Amino acid sequence: MQQKNLDVQISSEYIQDYVEEALPEGRWQSGGREWVCSSPYLQNDYKRHFSINVISGLWQCFKTGKQGNFIQLYAFLENVSPRAAWSKFVFKTLENDEVFEPRPEDDIIWDLDIDNHEWFEALTASSDLNDTLTSDAFKYLHSRHIFPEKDGEYYICRHGKYKDRLIIPYTEDDEIYYFQARTLKDDNPKYLNPGIEEGARAGNILYPFNHGKVMVTEGPLDAISLKKAGFNATCTNGCNVSDVQALQLKDHNGSIVMAYDNDAAGKKGIRVFESTRKRLRMDNFYICYPPSSYGDWNDFLCKDGPTAIRNWIEPNTFKYESFYRVKEELGLL
């Protein structure tokens, strides 16, 4: 038996074993499909106000009115973020209806804690601008129309692997689950991303975004630029969308606007994503490029400001299929 949960299929056998261990002193009802027990959302719940269906993975606390799916329950019981809970389950293809099982602990996608990086130093309004590294970081961010004094925390690093780099954090619920480290000198590569040895996989991670319509960019500065213009936005850390990222986008319950750079690499990335979208049966897929005179969305922000971005996006957002069909008919591809 299998249950479909956030487009991640988790075996009912796994849910059954988990709830019996995590929520003991319960009993099975409905022919072994419903586990009824004390609610984890109440103290001293002797009347067993909680029920979870191991086939669907859906649960409800009848006293508080709380309800949700298995991954949300798992996150609550294990005291981890929903992203970390989601990442514990292996992605395979949905086409074959395969069962998802927990990841090994050393293979978690999101489990990055900035507190482990004691050399990171926050940039704030009270930062010492007489310090060269701090001053360089502020100058760079200001040149990109990003202001750490009011746009959220950014960091610099003075030692170790990320020495002399600006740290661009990915934050959810006040916790940093990933970051990109950009050089402030002439170092190569320009960006360093945390790797598997630090508990992260860039190809499986998205910049934080909300539910609803979302614009998908290549890098965090582009996502930040669109957010400053009033749009819900994320990034894929490059111009490729992994299957894990695609599933997260599918789960967010809104249309997807691919907003990669208006160059050959960006266009190729979107066309590759089209095959992923079809395989995972993702609907509501749109496309919107920045004007060809700009390198990317951050360049657009810096030169013309957020109002120009807002005025551009709606009339230049197209359903993917119609966009490319017209282009092909005109011989522009």
Q: Give the integer Cα–Cα distance in Å for 202 and 191.
A: 12
Predicted pLDDT of residue 333: 46
How many angstroms separate the most distant Cα atoms in the chain?
Answer: 71
Predicted pLDDT of residue 147: 92
328: Cα within 13 Å, side-chain hemisphere: 6
pLDDT in tens, the chain (333 residues): 333 344 456 778 889 999 999 998 899 988 888 999 999 998 888 888 899 999 888 899 988 888 888 888 988 898 877 666 776 664 433 333 444 444 443 333 444 544 445 678 889 888 898 999 999 999 999 999 999 888 778 999 888 888 899 999 888 777 777 889 999 988 788 888 776 555 566 677 899 998 889 999 999 999 999 999 999 999 999 888 887 788 888 877 788 999 999 898 998 888 888 888 888 778 788 999 999 899 899 999 999 999 999 999 999 998 876 555 545 444 444
Predicted pLDDT of residue 321: 66
Predicted pLDDT of residue 111: 45
Q: Which domains does the chain have, with CATH numbers?
A: 2-107 (3.90.580.10), 114-203 (no CATH), 206-329 (3.40.1360.10)
Predicted pLDDT of residue 9: 61
